[in-house]
Structure 1
Amino acid sequence: MKVLVVDDYATMRRIVRNLLTQIGMTDVEEASDGITALQRLRENKYGLVISDDNMEPMTGLQLLKEIRNDSKLKGTPFIMVTAESSTEKVIAAKQAGVNNYIVKPFNAETLKQKMESVLGIF
């Protein structure tokens, strides 16, 4: 399964990629912002998007809304990653159709559990 990791920090993209590799997911692509991610999603089929929320010029929440409003992409599983665990952020993401939510920092086991709950794999 192909996974798209979206984060504006290259270090964080590398960390998430490494965690995915640890749990056996090796078909991983990256995007440095929501606009690039949306272009990639429209060009390729991904089984999962793991996106940071706090990005410019398009936030993870905006990316999620764009995906959910696109008839071809709306079913794509989406896990939001954020440093903020405020109730408002979680509620906004849930209302927009996020499949799961991960608060930084996290480890491979946490990522695996979230992916399992969303995809039913592992």
Structure 2
Amino acid sequence: MRTMMDSLSPCELNILLVEPSAMQRKVISQQLAKEDVTAVDQASNKQQALDCIRSVRPDLVISSLHYEDGNAQELLHTLRNDPELEDLPFMLVSSETRRSELEIFKQSGVVAILPKPFDRSHLGKALNSTLDMLTQHEIDLDLYDVQSLRVLVVDDSRMARNVIQRVLRNLGIENLTEAADGSIAIELLKENNYDLVVTDYNMPEVNGVELTEFIRNSNLHSHIPVMMVTSESNDAHLANVAQSGVNAMTDKPFEPETVKRLLANLLDG
């Protein structure tokens, strides 16, 4: 198992590839080799994958959507509900394009969702996100001491909150508070001071836009920068978010390097 302080390159990654098609396993392995990744274990179904993971924990699981004994959603659910494996980076490779079918993976904090077939640039970006998830690179801010920065993370998905907090901790941010809904976040804001709010858009009671509007209309909190993490992409949604006073937006799944750049712009800009 890697430690957070390890500095990794693609050639050091140990990957588990879960794909029922022998031909697809060969193709993906060849693509990985072009990115200098050669330590690739293979599994053709869910049970083989779990056996491999519990025998030797990989740095990353790359999985197709369907297997003969289940699917990637079931495998990911098993991993995310195991305390020893819940933070294992997971990448989906699929020809599926329906938003409803991919949403569960976005909410579960996968490092990437690659199309099938994917090109080398897609894979390179996804591997870089994995490396960022596995290593610490403290963000350098002029106006704030990173270690004392107070951040409120708001998302109704526990798994998504865990991934967001992991990325923030890798940037050196340790003072983190989490809330499972915008309504809980509002109560926390009434009692505490924060330097940054990172919030999901879709939440059941008070969504990210409503939370941002509360912050902007508050005499005490209107100055707090808000970063919104969202899997939405339609123009009407984006316009609604922009009007609420959000300072920055990033997609699910998001790239740690993008988060680092946005935070630097928000807090030092």
TM-score in terms of structure 1 length? 0.94
Structure 2: tracts of 5 or more residues without a match: 1-148
Distance 2:263 2:244 in 1: 18
**Counterpart residue number, 1:31:** 179
Over alpha carbons, which structure has the higher Rg? 2
Q: What percent identity do the matched residue pairs reach?
A: 37
Distance 1:71 1:94 in 2: 20
Instruction: Report the number of matched residues.
Output: 121
The answer (yes or no) to whether the contact 1:4–1:28 under 8 Å persists in 2 is yes
> In the TM superposition, what is the alpha-carbon distance from 1:117 to its structure 2 partner?
1.4
Structure 1: tracts of 5 or more residues without a match: none
Distance 1:64 1:77 in 2: 9
Answering whether residue 221 of structure 2 is matched by residue 62 of structure 1, we say no
Where does structure 1 differ by over 3 angstroms across 4 or more consecutive aligned residues?
none
Q: CA RMSD in A?
A: 1.1
Answering whether residue 248 of structure 2 is matched by residue 100 of structure 1, we say yes
**Counterpart residue number, 2:233:** 85
Residue deviations 1:61-117, cap 9 Å, x none? 111111111111111110011001222222211111110001111122111111111
TM-score in terms of structure 2 length? 0.44
The answer (yes or no) to whether the contact 1:22–1:108 under 8 Å persists in 2 is no
**Counterpart residue number, 1:44:** 192
> In the TM superposition, what is the alpha-carbon distance from 1:21 to its structure 2 partner?
0.6
**Counterpart residue number, 2:160:** 12
Q: Which has the higher contact order (CA 8 A, sep 6+)?
A: 1
